[in-house]
Structure 1
Amino acid sequence: MKALSHWPLEQRRRITGVFTDIDDTLTSEGAITADALRALHQLKAAGLTVIPITGRPIGWCEPFMRGEVSPPWPVDAMVAENGAVAFVPDSADFSSQNSLQRPSGMRRPLSKRYQQDASTRAHNQARMQAIAAKVCAQVPGVGLARDSAGRETDLAFDYHEFAQLGPAQVDQVLALLQAEGMHTTVSSIHIHGCFGDFNKWGGACWIVQTLLGRDLTQELDRWVFVGDSGNDQAMFQHFTHSAGVANIARFVPQLTHLPRYVTLSERGSGFAEVANALLEARQAG
């Protein structure tokens, strides 16, 4: 990883879209930081497309997309459950637009989009209920994440949000999920398992096609991803431009794929560094 200051000006000037993780990238202790929120507003005001992509459940994302939180988040869509499902603004055709211009605070009907059909989701949900009970019974101290009521396509077990589990417990949960045929990832706070090879990279490609009618793989020089942990690895692997906020340091020994750049600051302040680098490049142009 190189310091963010090494990111060439000309490359930054070409960026038109930002994907970002949420937990411990925009937030600290579960709440978005003031500088990260300000950065989101500044990026949108400059005309960039901004899409958070998270392991959080789709139900958790809904109030942010509806503008029901104060202050609201100025984003164009939210991809949840590590790429399996998303909220997008409804009643509009975005396929010919270069950037979604959703005014800050504007309440708009939402459309929920899935990568799996309804019958597949229903079948998987029944399987996941049984697996969740098995994991909680076999691994002492393990419980489902508190946001699980809003989940539709995956399981999440808390290891570092409200609980504090050790590496051995995390490994045990992962082994049980994998033995059931589940795809697994580990975020900065949760252990995830799902049926279907969902990851943030696949979700990013899907949402760009869904919203903009374009192929993300053909325009990676115009996007940047910002993240901090294990479930961001697929994004670090595929994105031409990627940045880790400084708190990624605790995961580095466990990661196969690292971001190209790293910020000086942690969490929301680190995200603000990336936003400032983009805005400065535009002003310099």
Structure 2
Amino acid sequence: MHLLSQWPLEARRRITGIFTDIDDTLTHDGLIAPEALQALGDLKATGLTVIPITGRPIGWCEPFMAGTNGPAWPVDAMVAENGAVAFVPGAANAVTSQINLQPTSYMREALSKRYQQSIEVRTANRLRMDAIAAQVCAEVPGVELSRDSAGRETDLAFDYAEFAHHSPETVQRVLALLQSHGMQTTVSSIHIHGCFGDFNKWTGACWIIRELLGRDLSAELDQWVFVGDSGNDQAMFEHFTHSAGVANIARFVPQLSHLPTYVTPSARGAGFAEVAQAILAAKRHD
């Protein structure tokens, strides 16, 4: 990893869009850092496409998109559950039927929900996931589903570092159980994830750019940057030409096969703001 200050000016000038993780990249203890929220707005005001992409559930994302618990985040879309589902601005008739989550009236008016899987596939997967969740909780002492699981539609998440504190050995035991059922797994800074489907943040990013813009993300990676901090960001670090880890990525570095190109001086939301400032400073030089 190189210092963020080594990101070439010409490369920063070409940036037209930014993907970012949420937990521990924009937020700390579940709250967005004020400087990160300001940075999102500054990037949008400059005309950049801004898309958070997270392992969090789609239900957890709704207040940030809709502005029901504070100001709506100034973003173009929000991709959840490691790429399986997204909120985008749109008409009511674009909201797709779902499992265990009823949309609010505000969301029906302002947002639409997009999925990569059909309702039939999601329904069948839900039954399988419920049984697997019960097995994991029964066989691995102390492990529980994440507290945000009520809003999840396409994956399972188990808490190992948000409210719980589990050892690396426990994390590996949960992963092995999920994988024994054919689930794809990832580990974020706080949760262990399992899903049925080829979902990760990279495939989710490519999907949402096709959905929103009708373009091929892989063909224009010199115009995009990704900012993240943990294991479920590895696919983005692997594929993006320009990527940055906020400083708190340091605790995960020994576990990562793919590292970001750059690292910020500061952690979490302050680090994200540093990436935004590097881009905006380059734009001012145009």
The reply to whether TM is greater than 0.5 is yes
Whole-angstrom CA distance in 1 between matches of 2:34 and 2:46: 18
Whole-angstrom CA distance in 2 between matches of 1:68 and 1:8: 39
Q: Indicate conservation of the 8 Å contact 1:66/1:108, yes or no.
A: no
Which consecutive unaligned segments of at least 5 residues does structure 2 have? 93-107
Whole-angstrom CA distance in 2 between matches of 1:207 and 1:197: 15
Q: Indicate conservation of the 8 Å contact 2:64/2:71, yes or no.
A: no
CA-to-partner distance for each residue in 1:199-231, whole Å, 9 max, x for gaps?
000000000000001000111011000000000
**What amino acid is the match of 2:176?**
A
Q: Which residue of 2 aligns with 1:255?
A: 256
1:91, distance to aligned residue in structure 2 (A): 3.7
Q: Which residue of 1 aligns with 2:267?
A: 266
Whole-angstrom CA distance in 1 between matches of 2:9 and 2:210: 28
Which consecutive unaligned segments of at least 5 residues does structure 1 have? 93-106
| TM-score, reference length from structure 1 | 0.94
Whole-angstrom CA distance in 2 between matches of 1:152 and 1:91: 21
**What amino acid is the match of 1:203?**
G
1:256, distance to aligned residue in structure 2 (A): 0.4
Whole-angstrom CA distance in 2 between matches of 1:161 and 1:71: 24
Q: Indicate conservation of the 8 Å contact 2:25/2:227, yes or no.
A: yes
1:284, distance to aligned residue in structure 2 (A): 1.2
Whole-angstrom CA distance in 2 between matches of 1:208 and 1:69: 27
Q: Which residue of 1 aligns with 2:217?
A: 216
Whole-angstrom CA distance in 2 between matches of 1:177 and 1:193: 6
Whole-angstrom CA distance in 2 between matches of 1:115 and 1:72: 25
Q: Which residue of 1 aligns with 2:192?
A: 191
Whole-angstrom CA distance in 1 between matches of 2:140 and 2:195: 19
Q: Indicate conservation of the 8 Å contact 1:79/1:86, yes or no.
A: yes
Q: Are 2:272 and 1:275 aligned?
A: no
Whole-angstrom CA distance in 2 between matches of 1:276 and 1:109: 30
Q: Which residue of 2 aligns with 1:49?
A: 49
RMSD of aligned C-alpha atoms?
1.3
Whole-angstrom CA distance in 2 between matches of 1:273 and 1:116: 36
Q: Indicate conservation of the 8 Å contact 2:186/2:193, yes or no.
A: yes
Instruction: Quote the sequence identity (%).
Output: 75
| TM-score, reference length from structure 2 | 0.93
Q: Which residue of 1 aligns with 2:27?
A: 27
